[in-house]
Amino acid sequence: MFKQSAKAALLLKGGAVGVIPTDTIYGICGSAFNRKTVEKIYKLRKRNPKKPVIVLIENIDDLKKFGVKISSSQKKFLAKVWPGKVSVILKCSLKKFVYLHRGIKTIAFRMPRNKELQSILKISGPLVAPSANLEGCKPAKNIKEAKKYFGDKVFYLNKGNLVSKPSKLIDLTGKISKILR
């Protein structure tokens, strides 16, 4: 693992907020288990407080940490699309995670394929990872653009320019799965 990535992983685990490369674009990331960190990300992004964020996980077992139960058909589906650029919305009704599901009682999860990001998640644990931008603005393609949004309020892990489509978003909460984007 790269030295910078290991340092970033430890900072994230400790509650810091950082702009890091995800498997799609730069994200403004922090520990999904640290309520203060998550609220700081909402504040920094000027994000709608009713809108949940995507949570990056290292492996399917991480879902249990959120009290998420998946059916055998959901498990088969996830085995086909993960790891990859597919985020899935699953039911998460635990009251202690209301700061993540924002009262909607669902959370979108993604298990990235990117090896460096996987190694960060192995140390940091699950991360909230909305795109690195202010709500309604273009996602940052590089650290220079991200710094215009967040200045010195976060740390940065620079991997040059990142341009990608956002992850596919699939709702698995109903009887029939729905592709939302």
Domain range summary for the chain, segments of one domain joined by +: 3-172
pLDDT of 1 over the 80 cut: no
Asked if residue 117 lies in contact with residue 22, where contact means CB atoms within 8 angstroms, the answer is yes
Say what percent of the chain tops pLDDT 70: 99
- The band of 72, judged by pLDDT with boundaries at 50, 70 and 90, is very high
Q: What is the pLDDT of residues 150-180, one digit of tens each?
A: 999 999 999 999 988 778 899 999 888 888 8
3.90.870.10, 3.40.50.620, 3.40.50.300, 3.30.390.50: which CATH number matches 3-172?
3.90.870.10
pLDDT of 89 over the 60 cut: yes
Name the pTM for this structure. Answer: 0.94
- The band of 75, judged by pLDDT with boundaries at 50, 70 and 90, is very high
Q: Quick one: CA dihedral 78, 83, 86, 92, positive or negative?
A: positive
- Exposed e or buried b per residue across 1-40, where buried means at least 16 C-beta atoms within 10 angstroms of its C-beta: eeeebeebbebbbeebbbbbbbbbbbbbbbbbbbeebbeb
> What's the chain's average pLDDT?
94
- Say which range, 27-36, 131-140, 162-171, has the weakest mean pLDDT: 162-171
Q: How many CB atoms lie within 10 A of CB 74?
A: 17
d(CA 16, CA 175): 38
Q: If residue 91 lies in a helix (H) or strand (E), which one and from where to where?
A: strand 86-91
φ, ψ for residue 94, nearest 5 deg: -65, 130
Q: What is the pLDDT of residues 96-127, one digit of tens each?
A: 999 999 999 999 999 999 999 999 999 999 99
The predicted pLDDT at position 177 comes to 85
The predicted pLDDT at position 127 comes to 98
The predicted pLDDT at position 175 comes to 83
